Amino acid sequence: MKNQLLFPWLCLLGLLQTATAQIQTATVEVNPHPFGENDTVTLTFSDIDLSQWGVNDAYLWAWSYNNAGVQQDAPNNGSWDNSNEAHKLQEVNGKLSISFKVSEFFGRTGITRIGFLVKAKDGTGDKKTQDFIEDVGTFELTINNPTSGFTLLENGNTLSISATSSVNALFELYVDGTLVNSTNTPSLNYSYSLTISDYSEITLKALDGDDVQSNVFYAAPKADVPAAPVPAGLKDGINYDPANPGRATFVFHAPGKQVVHWIGSLNNWEISNDYLMNYDSASERFWIELSGLQANSDILYQYKVDYSLAVADPYSHLIIDPWNDQYIDDNTFAGIPSYPTGKTSNAITWFQTKTTTYNWGDSGYEKPAKEDLVIYELLLRDFDEDHSYQALIARLDYLETLGVNAIELMPVNEFDGNESWGYNPSFHMATDKYYGSPEMLKKLIDESHQRGIAVIADIVFNHATGQNPYFRMYNTSNGDTGGSPSSDNPFFNQSAKHAYSVFYDFNHQYQGTQDYVKRIVQYWIEEFKFDGFRWDLTKGFTQNCTSNDEGCTGSYQADRVELLKKYADFQWAVDDDSYVIFEHLGGNNEESEWANYRLDEGKGIMLWSNLNGPYSEAAMGYNDNRKSDFEWASYKNRGWEEPRNVVYMESHDEERLMFRALEYGNSSGSYSTKTLGTALDRMGLDAAFFFTIPGPKMIWQFGELGYDFSIDYNGRIGNKPIRWDYFNDPDRKDLYETYSKLIALRNSEVIFDTDDFTINAGNSNGIKTIHLNTSAPGNISNMLIVGNFGVTSKSVQVEFQKTGVWYDLFNNNKKKTISETTTTLTLQPGEWHIYADQPSELFPNDNFPDADEDGVPDSDDNCPETPLGDTVNLEGCTVFTLPADAFSVKSVGSSCNGENNGKIEISTSVQDHTYLVSMNGEDPIKLNTGNGHSASFLDLAPGIYNICIKVEGRDDFERCYEIQITEPETFTTSTVVNQARNQVTLKLDGAETYYINLNEKFYVTTESEFQLDLESGSNRISVSTDLDCQGSYFEEIFVSEEVAYYPNPTKGYLQVYVSGTDSKVKVEIFGSTGNLLSQKSMEVFENRVIKLDINYRSSGLYMVRIKGETVDKTFKVIKE
């Protein structure tokens, strides 16, 4: 059978609210029900949306169980990625259906249960429904006692057995295959007292002719469990020393359980007193030491709990399962043992008695400082076709060149199925084999460390799936993987205590759960040298809320704060400088307490900081209402003492910036962020304002190449295209290099460690700046990042921290002389610069020698000591000039078409000179103290005028302007009436301001469209502008009240309901040719109904018009 538990997990942030899995919850109808194995059964499915899987057809995947519980796939299933056409479902009345004879379909007899699910032909990526299980048999045997599948006889060794049959039958009782009792007379009832001395398999059969029904259950007298304390120094799980490979001790925490046996490959999976585990009542732990083990061998085992339930070790390092291992090839993980089919069920622990340990080569490695982290988050499944640690090792050159100093792996511990995001953990301490062996994971971490790259693991301690042993040991499904935690489960809450739960919610206030978490944290750090952990969905670590109370979950919870501090303390106790990162995404008060925790010791918990929204808006070019304001990326704006916010523009959980830009981007004229080249440039613009903000950063895989497939492509958590070909695209490669240079810059300059910085990212014009300053020793003391996030060119005033020579770092350190700290810059859409007060050695320096910084090479400079900021000629000597904004030249257009009353007004803010102002080369007028340095040209016709300004007494200065005198556009108005809503939309053009009169109600608007509500009856609308010569617009619109009439056709009388307030209406009746036959005035009474008598009219078609002050309706009537 293909894994019944291949549940993808919905990742747990605010997304979780919108995430959709490919597993669908369907409904099935079984006919007949009940049924026997010789019956033909029809299964009919509904609530399946095939479009979610991207297919048109669906197939049945099925399996069966016999009397002994042995499971077997239906012989014609096909393979999981290519179902057999024999199992194709047929569409019947919008539902999917299939019919079959049970024994023939499953190719066996003695069937007690069948299981099935619906899937796509290629079920890869969990394109399936949930599992369905149905009992087989109309002749039924019911065991009344014992009431469970296993009975532990605590007092004596006698088991009372009672049963009923649905038909009169003979009964036979077997113990371990031996007949011990039978009846001679058919009966509906059976009872017997059975004495047993050891663990026994008991089979009761009911016989009705050739038909046999049987039920298997188990019982044992309670063993004399040896009481012994757990030896000092032993930990939960496997305790093994490679130096002594012949011995291992197993410790199993099982509160409330009475008897545990070790079963496995050493004892043929059978219960034996030789493998009965000792019990330490003080710690509620069972333990056993096994000796004589063979070195370098595979040992498979489970714990048999109270004789009835076999579970893998909760602290397994590796597990074997019967569903998924067959799909893992030897290139990924060679030598996986075969599952012992028929001897046990569910997951089992795989323990290797190795005599050697991994030889680490990272002795000189030091973790990057928290504030310097540039983390690369990746999902191995979607990063490389081989989805393996070895494949990632081969890609480390790529990541090292990019410049990242940390890799964050999405969960690599054992999760349900193979292909998954990993947030469906089953065994938190086991390495999932789909990515490779534990040794290869260690090699990945070792190789990364040797390159100075930290490796962070994503861990999910909020919940576990139904495969987790601590769920199976205490649940409502008798140890199966479904149901709910039972009331005696100390590890899991019966119902979730927070609003974002999936699977089964851990109770972290239970000490056993805390021990479980700490043991696993310690293992991953000590065994694999992980540098830290990203703790998933920390909002769920509370016991104070309910599953439907999002307000409670999102608010400050003291138990959660203290518990997570305790976990952080433990992680730091194992590794003093381990990274502790919480994905909380909650209130700043709670996150601030963690961020500032133990800062005096150089610690502090880091928090994921989601800025996907603002950076998406910035990339798309939408800047109104602070949409693209990413100032929250500053830890200072959060009131934190140190940078502990891991800021990201993208993560596994957020939509890709490139997809949003290409799909929804803004545009103006020929500039559009929806075009590929422009969108890639916008990614670089975002990056320039991301990496330059002090503090840790994280990027999602392939963001550096402009990955543009939506997060919802192939389903939110479905496989995504792996596009390494993007690296060969020159434009995408340029983006990669931009990322690389920005990361190198932040890694090389101490200014990015400063706490003296400001972000200005909220302007609606799209101009954003970051200012950084530092007094720390280093190359650069001041830095300004400026960029235009709009879609049009902008000339804006920008504040530099000081005057002097600045360097445009990403423009080969090109010099820029700043003579005034407030400087006007013209920036094209998407243009950005990083200016510094010193050049950066990371970039070429194309500047020629220029001692006085006047822009003239020293070899050509005849005035080598020109004051900084002076305008010079080609010889480097000062020339007379005035500021660019010295003059104001404004035009005032003509008041109306055909009139010559425009004017041009000129004034100056520099009033140290007399100016000569000419228009179109005519005699100049003067600007001087006599006229306050202002003058005007009057009575101008519409057109273009050249205004030139000189300084009296100087021949080396002239500044000219081209000015246009405009005339008003033609004023137009049109209307669109929506009768259904009683509204009118005015479409206006030709003026800046419009004055509207509707039924003596007045409105003023500057919009080109304006909507008004109409009254019933006549509506008088007029529109004018602020220019009388443009005229006005008038229209009268009638809005009628509704009219209803019945019966139609009629034999003589017609009742007409008239809505509204009219007390009297005129009724007109017309013939089929339009001729008026009658008209009269009729009163409308309180019930709003008038009665028309057309009994005297001959049979045929008539038109009736009802007209009043608020109603005017015409309708057809047929007279029979």
Q: Report if residue 142 sits inside a domain.
A: no
Whether residue 249 is predicted with pLDDT greater than 70 in this model: the reply is yes
Question: What is d(CA 246, CA 885) in angstroms, rounded to the nearest whole number?
Answer: 89
45 near 97, Cβ under 8 Å? Answer: yes
Residues 965 and 902 sit within 8 Å (Cβ to Cβ):
yes
Q: Is the pLDDT of residue 745 over 90?
A: yes
Distances (CA, A) of 291 to 244, 351, 357, 657: 10, 14, 20, 58
Mean pLDDT along residues 593-603: 97
What was the pLDDT predicted at 878?
Answer: 75
Flag whether 792 is in a domain: yes
Domain hosting 991: range is 972-1039
Q: With DSSP H G I counted as helix, E B as strand and the rest as coil, what are the percentages for the chain, rounded to 5?
A: 20, 35, 45
Q: Is residue 842 part of a domain?
A: no
Residue 957 within any structural domain of the chain: yes
Take residue 870 and report the two structure tokens written for it. Answer: 């002076």
Stated pTM of the model: 0.70
**Are residues 559 and 646 both part of a single domain?**
no
Inter-residue contact 631 to 609 (CB < 8 Å): no
Which of 78-92, 147-161, 301-315, 431-445 has the lowest average pLDDT? 147-161
The pLDDT of 128-148, averaged and rounded, is 88
pLDDT of residue 859: 81
Whether residues 651 and 757 share a domain: the answer is yes
CA angle 945, 951, 957 (to 5 degrees): 80
**Average confidence (pLDDT) over 623-627:** 96
Q: Which of 214, 248, 384, 237 lies closest to 316 in space, CA to CA?
A: 237
Say if residue 4's pLDDT is above 50.
Answer: no
Q: Are residues 677 and 811 in the same domain?
A: yes
The alpha-carbon radius of gyration of the chain (Å, integer) is 41
Task: Kindly tell me the burial class for residue 424, based on how many C-beta atoms sit within 10 Å of its own C-beta (0-12, 13-18, 19 or more).
Answer: buried
Sign of the Cα torsion 425, 428, 430, 432 reads: positive
Compute the mean pLDDT over every residue in the chain, rounded to the nearest whole number: 93
Domain end among 100, 135, 170: 135
Examine residue 4 and state whether it is found in any structural domain, yes or no.
Answer: no
Residue 157 has a CB neighbour count (10 Å cut-off) of 14
C-beta of residue 1085 within 8 angstroms of C-beta of residue 1091: no
Confirm if 194 and 179 have CB atoms less than 8 A apart. no
Task: Judge whether residue 12 has pLDDT over 80.
Answer: no
CATH of the domain at 1028: 2.60.40.10
CA proximity to 592, closest of 631, 545, 642: 642
Distance from chain centroid for Cα 141: 50
pLDDT reading at 6 higher than 60: no
- Tell whether 226 is covered by a domain: no
Q: Same structural domain for residues 679 and 808?
A: yes
- The verdict on 1077 and 1089 lying in the same domain is yes
E strand residue ranges, 990-1099: 994-998, 1001-1005, 1009-1013, 1017-1025, 1032-1039, 1043-1046, 1053-1058, 1064-1070, 1076-1083, 1089-1093
CA separation for the pair 590, 605 (Å, rounded)? 11
Which H helix or E strand runs over 568? helix 558-574
CATH code for the domain in which residue 161 is found: 2.60.40
Inform me whether the pLDDT recorded for 766 exceeds 60.
yes
Residue 9 has pLDDT above 80, yes or no: no
Structural domain total, the chain: 9
Whether 897 is in a domain gets the answer: yes
**Is the pLDDT reported for residue 90 higher than 50?**
yes
Asked if residues 640 and 692 have their Cβ atoms less than 8 Å apart, the reply is no
Question: Which pLDDT belongs to residue 868?
Answer: 76
1018 CB neighbour count, 10 Å cutoff: 14
Whole-angstrom Cα distance, residue 665 to residue 667? 7
Tokens read off for 74: 């239906």
Q: Which residue has the higher pLDDT, 855 or 141?
A: 141
User: Taking the CA of residue 170 as centre, how many other CA atoms within 13 Å lie in the half-sphere pointing to its CB?
Assistant: 12
- Please check whether residues 273 and 189 belong to one and the same domain: no
Domain CATH code at residue 95 = 2.60.40.1930
Residue 16, pLDDT score: 34
Q: Cα separation of 697 and 374, whole Å?
A: 5
Rounded Cα–Cα distance for residues 278 and 926 (Å): 109
- Check whether residue 813 and residue 871 sit in a common domain: no
Distance (Å, rounded) from C-alpha 194 to C-alpha 842? Answer: 86
Specify if 1081 maps to a domain. yes
Mean pLDDT along residues 484-503? 96
The residue from 1039, 1067, 1098 where one domain ends is 1039
What is the distance between the alpha carbons of residues 276 and 638, in angstroms, rounded to a whole number? 57
Burial class (CB in 10 A: 0-12, 13-18, 19+), 792: middle
For residues 822 and 775, state if they share a domain: yes
pLDDT at 34 over 60: yes
878-906 pLDDT, tens digit per residue, is 778 888 889 999 988 777 777 888 899 99
More confident of the two residues 1000 and 873: 1000
pLDDT above 80 (res 319) = yes
Same domain? For 985 and 1099 the reply is no
My answer on whether 721 and 830 are in the same domain is yes
Categorise residue 598: left if φ over 0, alpha if ψ from -120 to 50, beta otherwise.
Answer: left
- Residue 336's SS3 state is coil
Contacts of 786 (CB under 8 A, 6+ apart): 767, 768, 769, 798, 825, 827, 832, 833, 835
Q: CA–CA separation, 252 vs 313, rounded Å?
A: 7
Per-residue confidence (pLDDT) for residue 18, from 0 to 100? 32
**Same domain, yes or no: 546 and 598:** yes
Q: CA-based angle 437:439:440, to the nearest 5? A: 65
1000-1011: average pLDDT: 94
Give the residue from 836, 866, 900 where a domain finishes: 836
What distance in Å separates the CA atoms of residue 724 and residue 395, rounded to the nearest whole number? 11
Within this chain, do residues 438 and 576 fall inside the same structural domain, yes or no? yes
Convert the pLDDT of each residue in 644-701 to its tens digit. 999 999 999 999 999 999 999 999 999 999 999 999 999 999 999 999 999 999 999 9
Question: Computed from CA positions of residues 288, 294, 297, 300, in that sequence, does the dihedral angle turn out positive or negative?
Answer: negative
Question: Tokens 């990742």 correspond to what residue?
Answer: 11
